Chain A
Amino acid sequence: MSILRIESTQRTPEVIFDFANNVFHLRGESYPEDVKEFYGQPIGRLEGHLEGLTNAEIRFTFEFVYFNSSTAKILMNLFDMLEETAARGNTVLVVWAYEKDDDNMEELGEEFGEELSRATFSMLAV
């Protein structure tokens, strides 16, 4: 199966990892009881996949309404992973989508975006 899909819950985001097309999406709320338990398996699989890519085009969209500080740590790790993937010569586009009047989420996006130099970062108010 080349698509990993997890439905959203009240406290966990929708996860769509389309490995065949290199399109990835996290959308919704994120304050799970145990971040490692929720994100461990999908991110482990993503890491293995990204490591095998060369000259690929990757698009990763983050679209959060709210995430807690433990999730922020997971996101930092993901940004690091995407930056490394870009540094190896892949084309990586990271999109940070946020509700247009959500200043907090906009600011957080800018702060995470600072971590990227090889990957292309874009903010999207929706």
Chain B
Amino acid sequence: MLAENMLQFRNQLQAHNISFCYSGFMTEDLLVGIGNTIRKKLEMSELDKKRCKTVFSVFVEQMQNVIRYSSERETHTDNTDLSFGIVAVGEDAGRVFVTCSNVVDNASACSLKSVLGKIKSLDKDGLKALWKETLKGDSPEGSKGAGVGFIDIARKADGGIEYDFAPIDGGRSFFTIKAFI
């Protein structure tokens, strides 16, 4: 039964064409570890070097988003934040995809929807202009990054991005973004 359950779980991942999946608490150390593993695996695949680098880069942006912004988090006594999220990499119809999910509160969901809506509406030149404008602007309050991650993902994902929100309760939603490369 034990193995049966896990086999079913594995089959489910395979049915979604997922070749790599991590679900749990994430830290920056884990990002480096998983990142290196994904890099190695990509280098062994038939993907060209450019796409390998793009997949790695989209993975870093997505995982840093979860680490920085997941609302499901615990702070260790040494001040390290553990943020809960799921990251997966797979292949579908000739495209590699990188997808990340995490819980967000309503206010974040609202601002994510407006930011991602704007990003999705832009073409290549529009994205470049927004990217530059954001790089030159002030960082959002309390941000460890630059607030430019999603624009970067959209610029690199030549197969496009998809995103979605599933309500969990009155105050929170489950957010997913998927980038195709």
Contacts and interface: CB of A to CB of B under 8 A. Distances in A.
Given A35-B145, A111-B128, A111-B132, A69 B50 contact: no
Interface in A97-126: 101-104, 111
Nearest to A31: B60
Interface string B120-162: 0000000010011011100100001110110110001000000
Interface in B71-127: none
A34 B144 contact: yes
Interface residues on A, range: 20 to 34
Contact of A72 (B36, B50, B152): B152
A69 B54 contact: no
A69 B56 contact: no
B61 A33 contact: no
Contacts of B56: 66
Given A103-B50, A104-B50, A104-B54, A70 B145 contact: yes
A102 B56 CA distance: 14
Interface residues of B, number: 27
Interface in A51-84: 66, 68-70, 72-73, 75-76, 80
A72 B156 CA distance: 14
Contact of B64 (A36, A68, A80, A101): A68
Contacts of A72: 131, 135, 146, 148, 152
B53 interface: yes
B151 A10 contact: no
Contacts of B54: 104
A11 interface: yes
A68 B36 CA distance: 15
A68 B53 contact: no
Interface of B: 28, 32, 36, 49-50, 53-54, 56-57, 60-61, 64, 128, 131-132, 134-136, 139, 144-146, 148-149, 151-152, 156
Given A34-B144, A69-B146, A69-B148, 12 more contacts: A33-B28, A66-B53, A66-B57, A68-B60, A70-B64, A72-B131, A72-B148, A73-B135, A73-B148, A75-B135, A103-B50, A104-B53
